[in-house]
Structure 1
């Protein structure tokens, strides 16, 4: 069975060794390991992907809990493939309703074989979707519109979330949140084609460049790196010369973006693709 172990906390010596020794003493095989020291912030981050006999599951979790208590690290142990239940998704959104609605509808129809564990937002705009689809609603917004990032992680931990879906969630996650759910657990929808149009206004940028093809990108969020080799799915649409920018944005937001995200999430949930060493790899060929 494969496990992904992530650890984040105050930086000091000897943090990686206990986790590595725990895995090897249980007969596990380390398939991937990444470490990063945020020197200015004195924060240590680590991801370890291991193969371990599931008979040692309880021993692993007990040892990891002891290491966490001893070192002060925030450690998570996640199984990418479980046979006892469907993957649980936390869908995060801000103002636009089209993409979160599409994911919720795809879950309801069975197109995405997962469970919607929560709808999380820093605004109230999408609250009606939670009521419509009978999904727990969690408001993590502050009065100034910013988001309580630690509360988001707490909610996902409490609900046993497998994947965090950023469905036009217009806030940048801090590196600590990305590391806590690293290993291909955070899926983002960018409303432009990467790497060509990475900014906050990709439709405007593409229109200013006189493009006739527009698109959206579904990709894994990777700590410390921009989306490059982490693309899960891209969809495009072509417009006639002279098409107004407003019409292009309307088609993109209402039709193309939802379809792009749904297919990307489906590919991950169905284990067609996964993230390994910050690259998307095909699990089904």
Structure 2
């Protein structure tokens, strides 16, 4: 397929000449750099880069460019990806009782704000829980979870991820804790929205915890899922000021809005290859 736009992301041990080598290679392939971001983490000694580019010749294909870049990547011990921006990622949405994040993501998907292929919606609650929510033609899977069947249902979920070729799993207020084994299998491709400004007020009813402490700011955190509960690399956070007039219910209501926008931004940035893992943190090249 002719190349419209492509994005290259990379990380590697920092040393002189990386930018020159990468940009020279793209020039030699007849490519034009449209956008470039870079970050040198002086604490870890690692270098991070994201380049958006296209080909001067509209008949140019991405595959030869990707194949030829291997020599440069190997020379600098890079972790890298090169992807056609027109290719939409396959995304699976997991949800429990509260569906405000799910509804928001479906709306942004319908209007083209977040280009992606939603290949399944999975819930531990039955379809009737969501009333008249329009899921279009997206397959819905009910996987009820109990203490006794958790391992069995996680195995079904993993099979579904593999069979559908899911590239990103989104926990859109999915209120089940994933096992260590499943978290490891989904490492770097599972995003959770936590209804709190982590690392504070973790666990159950964080808004009620915050209310009891008289906080003046509430927030939400989108992060990659790891075996450590609610401690995965953070992608995005946001806050909103509150006052002594606000009840716990007011915090929940205001928190829903924060959760929606934080999760949407995190997903969009992930799908645009703007997020690169940096050990327990992330490098986010925001647009």
Band of TM-score, shorter chain: 0.5 to 0.7
Residue 227 (structure 1) shift: 4.3
CA distance in 1: counterparts of 2:148 and 2:99, whole angstroms? 17
TM-score where L is the length of structure 2:
0.66
Asked if the contact 2:92–2:120 (Cα under 8 Å) also holds between the matched residues in 1, the reply is: yes
Name the counterpart of 2:101. 99
Q: Is the 8 A contact 1:93 1:126 kept in 2?
A: no
Aligned to 1:215: 219
Take 2:232 and 2:225, find their aligned partners in 1: how far apart are those partners? Answer: 11
For 1:170, the equivalent position in structure 2 comes to 175
Please report how far the alpha carbon of residue 215 of structure 1 lies from its aligned counterpart in structure 2 after TM superposition.
0.8
Distance 2:163 2:169 in 1: 13
CA shift, 1:112, in A, is: 1.3
What's the secondary structure of 2:196's corresponding residue? coil
Deviation at 1:85, TM superposition (A): 2.5
- In structure 1, how many angstroms separate the alpha carbons of the residues matched to 2:162 and 2:82? 17
Report the secondary structure of 2:199's partner residue: coil
What is residue 261 of structure 1 aligned with on the other side? 263
Give the secondary-structure state (helix, strand or coil) at the position aligned to 2:103.
helix
Give how far 1:211 is off: 0.6
Mapping for residues 1-285 of structure 1, pairs under 5 Å: 54=67, 82-83=83-84, 85-124=87-126, 125-126=129-130, 128-129=132-133, 131-142=134-145, 147=150, 148-182=153-187, 184-223=188-227, 225-228=228-231, 230-253=233-256, 255-283=257-285
Q: Is residue 153–residue 177 contact of structure 1 (8 Å, CA) maintained in 2?
A: yes
Aligned residues: 213
Q: Distance in 1 between matches of 2:110 and 2:278?
A: 30
Residues of 2 paired with 1:258 and 1:101: CA distance?
Answer: 9
Query: Which segment drifts farther, 241-250 or 208-217?
Result: 241-250
Residues in 1 aligned to 2:9 and 2:107: alpha-carbon distance in whole angstroms: 30
Given the superposition, is the C-alpha separation of residues 142 and 229 from structure 1 closer, same or farther in structure 2, using an over 3 Å criterion?
Answer: closer
What are the ranges of 5 or more consecutive residues in structure 1 without an aligned counterpart? 4-31, 33-52, 56-78
Query: Distance between the aligned counterparts of 2:149 and 2:210, measured in 1?
Result: 28
Structure 2 spans left out of the alignment, 5+ residues: 1-7, 11-45, 47-65, 69-79
Partners of 1:280 and 1:195 lie apart in 2 by 15
Instruction: Go from structure 1 to structure 2 and tell me whether the alpha carbon gap of 1:97 and 1:199 turns closer, same or farther (over 3 Å shift).
Output: same
Output the aligned Cα RMSD. 3.0
For the structure 1 residues 284 and 242, does the alpha-carbon distance in structure 2 shift closer, same or farther, using more than 3 Å as the test? Answer: closer
* SS of residue paired to 2:250: helix
On the 8 A contact 2:88/2:116 being kept in 1, the answer is yes
Structure 2 distance, partners of 1:233, 1:156, is 24
Kindly provide the CA deviation profile for residues 113-134 of structure 1, in whole angstroms up to 9, marking residues without a partner as x.
21111101111224754x4333
Matched residue of 1:217: which SS? strand
Equivalent pair of 1:94/1:126 in contact (CA under 8 Å): no
Equivalent residues of 1:99, 1:257 under 8 A apart: yes
Secondary structure (helix, strand or coil) at the match of 1:249 reads helix
